[in-house]
Structure 1
């Protein structure tokens, strides 16, 4: 049984040109950079998009969809991000020269609303790559590459900033191909819950879903994840509700008194009793006062959330967090920046300067 379903988009000049691949030398992993949008959301988008971009397979926590036949070209990895000293386009994977789109298959990993990879998405992507490696006779260690490796685009960003996670991913694919069981202590699986990190809820907080992540501090970053809790499991003490970026988390304690942070979204957790919401910290207020606001923008044009970047260059920036569709955020101006014809809004995010792509904000 295949790890993905075929649901092809129509042939068109932008996203499915109908050209045949010259071979499959490598498999390229990407991320969608579109928090909250699943595989089928992207299939629908690329069915009508008028941009020269696409990929073969999109993976989320519940399904994987192949939108372009694996013997056809997808426009996923031939963009020019850098040039060498001679002025030629940077091509960091020799086997994919001169055009990676004609020699590789692209797989996109979808993001959760908080901008993270769900553990089920990672595991499903591993299984997709196992099937593709077997199909095309490829070695996961040598033949799975990041978009970054080809053009130095910051994609998939979590595995560019932490290359060890990418190496661990390939090792797990290799192990699965060899019929080995993947240890639950591996990076992807290390977030499984255990009695020492959480306990059955006794009226304070419990999870409504399996593998709900919790963090060592108020954060949505992968690096701060310390475990997960399954459905019906939770924390006996909820201290308070705190704002983290544009969303909220509960500050909780386990039975040993250790403090953690977990989403406060109603669709993921249920809480009994009254929980106070913390006021903004003084340090945050002081930080905000150091940057002059010239107005606000409303987030538009995204399926779920807009990414806040640390610099006005969506190909090289690091993600600071996200702002939900329909929410507003203060701005201190706008800049042209790089790699975006619409420029960038300069926003005030958690007391610091950040940048949101111009097309995703409307001044109000």
Structure 2
């Protein structure tokens, strides 16, 4: 009974520090993001209410990114406060091992990690998607020109007559070649002016080159008139799109819910595009419970030193530096996993597993000699 009561006490203590840290981080993120957006809005005319809404929509995704670091700081604060109040000495004198003492915070960290991808990730993804849309509207930024659905991939581009929407069932990995292409051309009043079907489209500098073309031209003033049909071996359609802009227009992984990501990856690969970046993000979210547990262990290993021995400040600084070092190495691994240089599964899971092993070794060394 003493151990269950102690476990609940430690878990509540850790939860209180975690809640305070999250609240503090939220306020800081809102403040910094609001100031940055206000600076950008100086030339766009966006109102303060709109800027505040954008900051609120952006905050969940930023908090999700730094949540492991918040967990590390919470664990450090929890165990350091217990060390200063001599609670650690009392519990160790009662025969409670360091592992038994950290077990409730490990469980709490794993629960936080599971909640981060199961609950917070869908909320943050939806908010970030809305943020990107409103930001493009308020600040007159370029919106995404590409979207992917089970009906194929869709591209939007401007033309001299209005705008054109391109649908293709398949593409190569760069988006420079499309197959089974349909082009819908609209005038400035958003009326359908022409439809073009092509077996293949190749992106050239400044234009799409269509092959095996069949086109229908509509009269906007006579909707009941039959369209004029033409056929051609080749056709050239001017465009401002480039390979880089097409690839950059994919929905960022952060704007897609964890639960919707597998279907989106399947759709991307069916369309012919590489989905390593999105698969990497999905696995990194799935590994959050292991990462949070590693951050808890790391914080405990550097802060479970009795206050009379001194050096708590240096140990806290060492923990922060170790956490920053982990994030740097993790970002490198994710970069390699996103481009397919290493398997996304390995890039996502290896850093947190390695960190939990290193933190366990530190705890053994510092607490058990």
Q: What TM-score range do you get, normalising by the shorter chain? A: under 0.3
Pick the structure with more strand per residue: 1
Pick the structure with more helix per residue: 2
State TM-score, norm by structure 2.
0.23
State TM-score, norm by structure 1.
0.23
Q: More relative contact order in 1 or in 2 (CA 8 Å, sep 6+)? A: 2
